[in-house]
Chain A
Amino acid sequence: MADNAATTAANTDTQVETVAGEFRRRDFINVAAISAAGVGGAAVLLPLISQMAPSKDVLAESTTELDVSAIEPGQAIKAVFRKQPLFVRRLTPQEIAAADAVPIGDLRDPQTLAERTKEGHGDMLITMGVCTHLGCVPLGAAEGENKGEFGGYFCPCHGSHYDTAARIRKGPAPTNLVVPDYEFTTDTTVVVG
């Protein structure tokens, strides 16, 4: 169609030069009609593309509310946020100390523990349970799992080790475990997303 339109336009263009007046008007109306068809075709793309975007029921489930009161220091739970695992860990004072002891400059993705937690809740470490390498679920959230060389999380797929602040310390992963957007609505309730 577009090709045809172009050739018609080209043909009539040459005629415009030879004959005046009337051809110019015909040229205009044809170009207008073809443009209108093009605009219509483009408008049809809008619903065709947006139908593949998340539907209303998926968007409605894009926040997760958590009650963190039952998590003891040293314990972690696995929750689900947007159909992906979410690690919620209450750090022990030793773990906090270990995390704070690491010189920032040595880190691949420099961040302090304080930057990765909320003020007043420095012991609640909430991260996605998705390895930043290729998306596997790291071990270490459940009791008895391998926590890796740095006592945080360990991804068994390609051997990424995360420390107690879930920062990447060793292995192929490029960045720390992602901290999602969240806020404490009460002292014990967290809304993620």
Chain B
Amino acid sequence: MWLSAVITVLITISIIWVLLSESVKFFSEVSIVQFLTEKEWTPLFADKKFGILPLVAGTLLTTTIAIAVALPIGLTIAVYLNEYAHIRFRQIIKPMLEVLATIPTVVYGFFALTVVTPFLQSFIPGLAGFNALSAGIVMGIMIIPMISSLSEDAISSVPRSLREAAYGMGSTRLQTAFGVMVPAASSGIVVSVILAISRAVGETMIVAIAAGQQPRLTLNPLVPIETITTYIVQVTLGDVPHGSLEYRTIFAAGITLFVFTFALNNISFWIKKKYQEKYD
């Protein structure tokens, strides 16, 4: 039985090994300096350029938009459900919000492309058919329940005495929430945001459908871009021969993505561990 537990370690080792071994072959042909500094990514064209920056920029752009949508809404929901809402209301609303997290991401991609983009185009002239903005917004909606439920757990685990003390001083609910509860639960809220960022960075289908497949180094949310994940999908959809340089680019892109999410996840574990017992 311990074998099944050991398999989980094997999976991690294999992920790292697979990503590393193909990337090492990639970096023997393309210098790592070029990979990190060049401003164009065109491995599928005749004139090949291997700068990862445009893909990283695309990923950061969609992630930033998603968090800009999900953080204020998710945190407000968490505070509202905890400090204002009736308990019955909370019991009904929470599972309904969770439904948002169960919808397959292709469905969100379809929604972003066929509903949100046309809607935004009606008042943002110059918005391209594929763009980072609508993909980011829809991704944000998808991760609302992630931020709201993790933050709500964090807020509700703040001891009652703190809230009662705040009320005793004559604070309103709003002052109690943002003056006492949110700061007290800040480590849990930060963890929820970091996990949400990690999720958004790795999200694939929404951006592959709605954000376009044009790597470009820009922070303009109105034009088509390409994320790291989209690039991997774009290459594997076609027929790229095993062992070719193009084939190896997806592993180089993959390891870049893995480094980002791995770092984010471990920062969140670290924060959780460091601060979780503060009130026990």
- A-B interaction: no
Binding site for B on A (CB under 8 A): none
